[in-house]
Protein backbone atom coordinates (compact mmCIF):
# COMPACT_ATOMS: atom_id res chain seq x y z
CA UNK A 1 0.00 0.00 0.00
CA UNK A 2 1.19 3.51 -0.78
CA UNK A 3 2.43 5.77 2.02
CA UNK A 4 0.31 8.78 2.90
CA UNK A 5 2.53 11.76 2.18
CA UNK A 6 1.65 13.57 5.41
CA UNK A 7 3.24 10.67 7.32
CA UNK A 8 6.59 11.95 6.07
CA UNK A 9 8.69 14.54 7.86
CA UNK A 10 10.39 17.28 5.86
CA UNK A 11 13.70 15.40 6.02
CA UNK A 12 12.07 12.17 4.84
CA UNK A 13 10.53 13.99 1.89
CA UNK A 14 13.90 15.58 1.21
CA UNK A 15 15.61 12.16 1.10
CA UNK A 16 12.93 10.91 -1.29
CA UNK A 17 13.57 13.90 -3.55
CA UNK A 18 17.32 13.27 -3.49
CA UNK A 19 16.75 9.60 -4.30
CA UNK A 20 14.77 10.66 -7.35
CA UNK A 21 17.43 13.26 -8.30
CA UNK A 22 15.06 16.18 -7.99
CA UNK A 23 16.31 19.75 -7.54
CA UNK A 24 16.43 20.78 -3.88
CA UNK A 25 13.74 23.40 -4.30
CA UNK A 26 11.19 20.75 -5.32
CA UNK A 27 11.04 19.46 -1.73
CA UNK A 28 10.12 22.96 -0.54
CA UNK A 29 7.46 23.30 -3.22
CA UNK A 30 5.82 19.97 -2.41
CA UNK A 31 5.99 20.53 1.33
CA UNK A 32 4.55 24.03 1.06
CA UNK A 33 1.71 22.81 -1.17
CA UNK A 34 0.52 19.98 1.08
CA UNK A 35 0.75 22.02 4.28
CA UNK A 36 0.58 25.80 3.90
CA UNK A 37 -1.20 25.47 0.55
CA UNK A 38 -3.69 22.87 1.87
CA UNK A 39 -3.50 20.95 -1.43
CA UNK A 40 -5.11 17.52 -1.12
CA UNK A 41 -4.60 16.35 -4.70
CA UNK A 42 -1.14 16.15 -6.27
CA UNK A 43 -2.63 17.10 -9.64
CA UNK A 44 -3.49 20.51 -8.16
CA UNK A 45 0.10 21.43 -7.29
CA UNK A 46 0.61 23.94 -10.08
CA UNK A 47 4.18 24.84 -9.12
CA UNK A 48 5.65 21.45 -10.15
CA UNK A 49 5.85 19.79 -13.59
CA UNK A 50 3.39 17.13 -14.77
CA UNK A 51 5.94 14.28 -14.60
CA UNK A 52 6.60 15.03 -10.91
CA UNK A 53 2.86 15.08 -10.19
CA UNK A 54 2.67 11.66 -11.87
CA UNK A 55 5.57 10.36 -9.76
CA UNK A 56 3.92 11.58 -6.55
CA UNK A 57 0.67 9.84 -7.52
CA UNK A 58 2.56 6.60 -8.21
CA UNK A 59 4.35 6.54 -4.86
CA UNK A 60 2.15 8.36 -2.34
CA UNK A 61 -1.40 8.93 -1.22
CA UNK A 62 -2.23 12.62 -1.17
CA UNK A 63 -4.72 11.98 1.66
CA UNK A 64 -5.20 9.05 4.04
CA UNK A 65 -8.91 9.56 4.74
CA UNK A 66 -12.09 9.65 2.71
CA UNK A 67 -14.67 12.27 3.65
CA UNK A 68 -17.95 10.34 3.79
CA UNK A 69 -20.28 13.17 4.78
CA UNK A 70 -20.51 16.48 6.56
CA UNK A 71 -23.50 16.91 8.86
CA UNK A 72 -24.67 20.42 9.71
CA UNK A 73 -26.11 21.48 13.07
CA UNK A 74 -28.65 24.23 13.70
CA UNK A 75 -26.02 26.03 15.80
CA UNK A 76 -23.59 26.32 12.86
CA UNK A 77 -21.28 23.49 13.83
CA UNK A 78 -20.41 20.74 11.35
CA UNK A 79 -19.56 17.12 12.03
CA UNK A 80 -17.22 15.54 9.48
CA UNK A 81 -17.36 11.77 9.12
CA UNK A 82 -14.25 10.13 7.65
CA UNK A 83 -13.49 6.58 6.57
CA UNK A 84 -9.97 5.19 7.01
CA UNK A 85 -8.17 2.83 4.62
CA UNK A 86 -9.18 -0.14 6.83
CA UNK A 87 -12.85 0.86 6.84
CA UNK A 88 -12.99 2.46 10.28
CA UNK A 89 -15.03 5.61 10.89
CA UNK A 90 -13.82 8.66 12.77
CA UNK A 91 -15.31 12.08 13.32
CA UNK A 92 -14.18 15.63 13.91
CA UNK A 93 -16.28 18.72 14.63
CA UNK A 94 -16.07 22.31 13.43
CA UNK A 95 -17.28 24.83 16.02
CA UNK A 96 -17.77 28.50 15.07
CA UNK A 97 -17.79 30.97 17.95
CA UNK A 98 -19.46 34.37 18.10
CA UNK A 99 -16.06 35.93 18.83
CA UNK A 100 -14.83 34.91 15.38
CA UNK A 101 -12.83 31.97 16.69
CA UNK A 102 -13.21 28.86 14.54
CA UNK A 103 -12.24 25.66 16.31
CA UNK A 104 -11.82 22.13 14.99
CA UNK A 105 -12.10 19.23 17.44
CA UNK A 106 -10.16 16.26 16.06
CA UNK A 107 -9.80 12.57 16.88
CA UNK A 108 -6.62 10.61 17.60
CA UNK A 109 -7.90 7.01 17.62
CA UNK A 110 -10.65 4.98 15.93
CA UNK A 111 -12.16 4.33 19.37
CA UNK A 112 -11.11 4.86 22.97
CA UNK A 113 -9.81 2.17 25.38
CA UNK A 114 -10.32 4.35 28.48
CA UNK A 115 -14.01 3.47 28.75
CA UNK A 116 -15.35 6.55 30.54
CA UNK A 117 -18.96 5.74 31.39
CA UNK A 118 -20.25 9.08 30.09
CA UNK A 119 -18.61 8.88 26.66
CA UNK A 120 -19.85 7.08 23.55
CA UNK A 121 -16.36 6.85 22.06
CA UNK A 122 -15.37 4.22 24.60
CA UNK A 123 -18.19 1.96 23.42
CA UNK A 124 -16.91 1.58 19.87
CA UNK A 125 -14.78 -1.44 20.74
CA UNK A 126 -11.86 -0.81 18.38
CA UNK A 127 -9.24 1.69 19.44
CA UNK A 128 -6.54 1.66 16.78
CA UNK A 129 -4.18 4.60 16.91
CA UNK A 130 -4.50 7.04 14.04
CA UNK A 131 -1.38 7.69 12.01
CA UNK A 132 0.19 11.12 11.79
CA UNK A 133 -1.39 11.57 8.35
CA UNK A 134 -4.85 10.50 9.58
CA UNK A 135 -4.66 13.09 12.35
CA UNK A 136 -3.43 15.84 10.03
CA UNK A 137 -5.81 15.03 7.19
CA UNK A 138 -8.80 15.75 9.44
CA UNK A 139 -7.52 19.32 9.61
CA UNK A 140 -6.76 19.78 5.92
CA UNK A 141 -9.81 18.01 4.52
CA UNK A 142 -12.14 19.86 6.91
CA UNK A 143 -10.53 23.18 6.08
CA UNK A 144 -11.13 22.53 2.37
CA UNK A 145 -14.87 22.23 3.02
CA UNK A 146 -15.20 25.36 5.14
CA UNK A 147 -15.86 28.91 4.07
CA UNK A 148 -13.90 30.26 7.04
CA UNK A 149 -10.35 29.73 8.19
CA UNK A 150 -9.63 27.59 11.23
CA UNK A 151 -8.07 29.53 14.10
CA UNK A 152 -7.93 26.95 16.91
CA UNK A 153 -7.44 23.21 17.22
CA UNK A 154 -8.43 20.92 20.07
CA UNK A 155 -7.45 17.28 20.50
CA UNK A 156 -10.73 16.34 22.18
CA UNK A 157 -12.40 13.97 19.73
CA UNK A 158 -12.43 10.18 19.68
CA UNK A 159 -9.53 8.61 21.60
CA UNK A 160 -7.12 9.51 24.40
CA UNK A 161 -4.40 11.64 22.74
CA UNK A 162 -1.63 10.68 25.16
CA UNK A 163 -2.13 6.98 24.35
CA UNK A 164 -1.11 7.87 20.79
CA UNK A 165 1.67 10.10 21.97
CA UNK A 166 4.21 9.91 19.13
CA UNK A 167 1.75 10.50 16.28
CA UNK A 168 -0.04 13.26 18.16
CA UNK A 169 3.20 15.07 18.99
CA UNK A 170 4.52 14.74 15.44
CA UNK A 171 1.23 16.15 14.16
CA UNK A 172 1.49 19.10 16.52
CA UNK A 173 5.06 19.72 15.42
CA UNK A 174 4.03 19.75 11.76
CA UNK A 175 1.15 22.14 12.40
CA UNK A 176 3.23 24.55 14.49
CA UNK A 177 6.42 24.33 12.43
CA UNK A 178 7.92 27.67 11.47
CA UNK A 179 8.00 26.33 7.90
CA UNK A 180 4.21 25.96 7.86
CA UNK A 181 2.75 28.65 10.15
CA UNK A 182 -0.60 26.84 10.25
CA UNK A 183 -1.30 27.16 13.98
CA UNK A 184 0.38 28.88 16.88
CA UNK A 185 1.08 26.44 19.70
CA UNK A 186 -1.02 28.70 21.91
CA UNK A 187 -4.03 28.01 19.68
CA UNK A 188 -3.86 24.24 20.23
CA UNK A 189 -5.33 22.45 23.25
CA UNK A 190 -4.85 18.80 24.17
CA UNK A 191 -7.38 17.16 26.47
CA UNK A 192 -6.47 14.11 28.53
CA UNK A 193 -7.84 12.05 31.43
CA UNK A 194 -4.22 11.64 32.49
CA UNK A 195 -1.65 9.06 31.35
CA UNK A 196 1.38 8.19 33.52
CA UNK A 197 4.54 10.09 32.53
CA UNK A 198 3.06 11.49 29.32
CA UNK A 199 1.97 14.87 30.72
CA UNK A 200 5.54 15.47 31.88
CA UNK A 201 6.86 14.32 28.53
CA UNK A 202 4.48 16.66 26.73
CA UNK A 203 5.88 19.59 28.70
CA UNK A 204 9.20 19.15 26.91
CA UNK A 205 7.85 20.11 23.48
CA UNK A 206 9.71 22.99 21.86
CA UNK A 207 6.32 24.66 21.30
CA UNK A 208 4.14 23.32 24.17
CA UNK A 209 0.38 23.37 23.76
CA UNK A 210 -2.37 24.19 26.21
CA UNK A 211 -3.32 21.32 28.51
CA UNK A 212 -6.89 20.44 29.49
CA UNK A 213 -7.54 17.86 32.18
CA UNK A 214 -10.73 15.83 31.79
CA UNK A 215 -11.43 15.75 35.53
CA UNK A 216 -15.18 15.31 36.24
CA UNK A 217 -14.80 14.29 39.90
CA UNK A 218 -12.85 15.56 42.91
CA UNK A 219 -12.18 12.34 44.83
CA UNK A 220 -10.50 9.14 43.70
CA UNK A 221 -13.52 7.11 44.77
CA UNK A 222 -15.94 9.06 42.58
CA UNK A 223 -13.55 9.50 39.66
CA UNK A 224 -12.80 5.77 39.53
CA UNK A 225 -16.53 5.10 39.08
CA UNK A 226 -16.65 7.07 35.85
CA UNK A 227 -13.03 6.94 34.58
CA UNK A 228 -11.60 3.42 35.00
CA UNK A 229 -7.94 4.44 34.59
CA UNK A 230 -8.18 6.54 37.77
CA UNK A 231 -7.83 3.27 39.70
CA UNK A 232 -4.19 3.06 38.58
CA UNK A 233 -3.36 6.75 38.02
CA UNK A 234 -4.75 8.72 40.92
CA UNK A 235 -5.77 12.36 41.23
CA UNK A 236 -2.74 13.16 43.37
CA UNK A 237 -0.41 11.75 40.69
CA UNK A 238 -2.22 13.67 37.96
CA UNK A 239 -2.04 16.89 39.95
CA UNK A 240 1.69 16.47 40.54
CA UNK A 241 2.15 16.09 36.78
CA UNK A 242 -0.12 19.07 36.09
CA UNK A 243 1.92 21.23 38.45
CA UNK A 244 5.10 20.08 36.68
CA UNK A 245 3.54 20.97 33.31
CA UNK A 246 2.60 24.44 34.44
CA UNK A 247 5.99 25.18 36.01
CA UNK A 248 7.74 24.04 32.81
CA UNK A 249 5.49 25.71 30.22
CA UNK A 250 3.91 28.64 32.13
CA UNK A 251 0.65 27.89 30.29
CA UNK A 252 -2.55 28.03 32.37
CA UNK A 253 -4.37 24.73 32.84
CA UNK A 254 -8.00 24.07 31.94
CA UNK A 255 -10.07 21.65 34.02
CA UNK A 256 -13.04 20.10 32.23
CA UNK A 257 -15.88 19.16 34.54
CA UNK A 258 -19.09 17.50 33.37
CA UNK A 259 -21.86 17.94 35.92
CA UNK A 260 -23.94 14.87 36.85
CA UNK A 261 -27.07 15.27 38.94
CA UNK A 262 -26.56 14.05 42.49
CA UNK A 263 -23.06 12.76 41.80
CA UNK A 264 -20.51 15.59 41.56
CA UNK A 265 -22.56 18.79 41.93
CA UNK A 266 -22.55 19.41 45.69
CA UNK A 267 -21.02 22.30 47.62
CA UNK A 268 -18.30 19.94 48.87
CA UNK A 269 -17.50 19.01 45.26
CA UNK A 270 -17.23 22.71 44.40
CA UNK A 271 -14.97 23.31 47.39
CA UNK A 272 -12.63 20.43 46.43
CA UNK A 273 -12.62 21.46 42.77
CA UNK A 274 -11.68 25.02 43.71
CA UNK A 275 -8.82 23.71 45.85
CA UNK A 276 -7.53 21.69 42.88
CA UNK A 277 -7.80 24.69 40.55
CA UNK A 278 -5.90 26.99 42.90
CA UNK A 279 -2.74 24.86 42.80
CA UNK A 280 -1.62 26.57 39.57
CA UNK A 281 -3.02 29.26 37.29
CA UNK A 282 -6.09 27.67 35.76
CA UNK A 283 -9.72 27.93 34.72
CA UNK A 284 -12.63 25.52 34.98
CA UNK A 285 -14.94 24.68 32.09
CA UNK A 286 -18.28 23.40 33.33
CA UNK A 287 -19.74 21.13 30.67
CA UNK A 288 -23.40 20.07 30.51
CA UNK A 289 -23.77 16.31 30.27
CA UNK A 290 -24.90 15.31 26.79
CA UNK A 291 -27.04 12.20 26.89
CA UNK A 292 -25.13 9.54 24.99
CA UNK A 293 -28.36 7.69 24.32
CA UNK A 294 -28.37 9.84 21.18
CA UNK A 295 -25.51 7.65 19.99
CA UNK A 296 -27.42 4.47 20.78
CA UNK A 297 -25.98 4.08 24.28
CA UNK A 298 -27.79 4.53 27.58
CA UNK A 299 -26.22 6.00 30.70
CA UNK A 300 -27.41 5.93 34.30
CA UNK A 301 -25.87 9.37 34.85
CA UNK A 302 -28.18 12.33 34.35
CA UNK A 303 -27.54 15.97 33.51
CA UNK A 304 -27.84 18.93 35.88
CA UNK A 305 -30.38 21.54 34.73
CA UNK A 306 -29.43 25.10 33.82
CA UNK A 307 -30.25 26.48 37.29
CA UNK A 308 -28.04 23.81 38.84
CA UNK A 309 -25.18 24.66 36.50
CA UNK A 310 -25.47 28.35 37.38
CA UNK A 311 -25.52 27.52 41.09
CA UNK A 312 -22.42 25.33 40.84
CA UNK A 313 -20.51 28.05 38.97
CA UNK A 314 -21.52 30.57 41.64
CA UNK A 315 -20.23 28.19 44.33
CA UNK A 316 -16.89 27.87 42.55
CA UNK A 317 -16.57 31.63 42.17
CA UNK A 318 -17.35 32.07 45.87
CA UNK A 319 -14.30 29.88 46.53
CA UNK A 320 -12.12 32.17 44.44
CA UNK A 321 -11.73 30.40 41.09
CA UNK A 322 -12.73 31.27 37.53
CA UNK A 323 -15.39 29.02 36.01
CA UNK A 324 -17.39 29.24 32.80
CA UNK A 325 -20.15 27.19 31.24
CA UNK A 326 -18.78 25.72 28.04
CA UNK A 327 -21.14 25.84 25.09
CA UNK A 328 -21.98 22.41 23.70
CA UNK A 329 -21.95 22.45 19.92
CA UNK A 330 -23.80 19.97 17.73
CA UNK A 331 -25.94 18.16 20.28
CA UNK A 332 -28.69 17.82 17.64
CA UNK A 333 -26.32 15.84 15.37
CA UNK A 334 -24.59 13.77 18.10
CA UNK A 335 -21.48 15.91 17.81
CA UNK A 336 -21.32 17.34 21.34
CA UNK A 337 -18.83 16.42 24.04
CA UNK A 338 -19.02 12.68 24.73
CA UNK A 339 -21.26 11.84 21.76
CA UNK A 340 -18.70 11.11 19.03
CA UNK A 341 -18.85 7.46 18.07
CA UNK A 342 -18.76 7.26 14.28
CA UNK A 343 -22.16 7.75 12.67
CA UNK A 344 -21.92 4.64 10.52
CA UNK A 345 -21.31 2.37 13.52
CA UNK A 346 -24.77 2.61 15.06
Q: Is 337 a catalytic residue?
A: yes
Q: Annotated catalytic residue: which of 92, 112, 116, 337?
A: 337
CB atoms within 10 A of CB 156: 24
User: DSSP state, 129?
Assistant: B
Running DSSP on this structure, what letter comes out for residue 260? B
Q: How far apart are CA 345 and CA 329, in angstroms?
A: 21
CA dihedral for 140, 142, 148, 154, sign (positive or negative): negative
Measure CA of the first residue to CA of the last residue in the chain; give whole Å.
29
Half-sphere exposure of 42 (CA within 13 A, CB side): 19
Element (H, E) at 34: helix 24-34
Q: What is the C-alpha to C-alpha distance for residues 287 and 207, in angstroms, rounded to an integer?
A: 28
Does 91 qualify as catalytic in the annotation? yes
Among 91, 134, 160, 291, which one carries the catalytic annotation? 91
| Cβ neighbours of 1 (radius 10 Å) | 5
The conformation of residue 223, written as its DSSP 8-state character, comes to: H
Give the residue numbers annotated as catalytic, written as ranges: 91, 337
Amino acid sequence: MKTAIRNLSFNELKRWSEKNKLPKYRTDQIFYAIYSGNVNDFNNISTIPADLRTLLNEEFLAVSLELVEDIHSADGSIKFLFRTHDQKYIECVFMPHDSGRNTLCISTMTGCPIGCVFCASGKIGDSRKLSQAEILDQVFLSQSKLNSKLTNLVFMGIGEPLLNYENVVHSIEMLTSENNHIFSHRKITLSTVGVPLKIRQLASLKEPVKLAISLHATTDGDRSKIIPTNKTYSLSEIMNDVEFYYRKTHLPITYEYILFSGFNDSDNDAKRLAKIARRVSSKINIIPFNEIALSGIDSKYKPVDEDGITLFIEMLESYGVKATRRKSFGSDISAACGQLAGNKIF
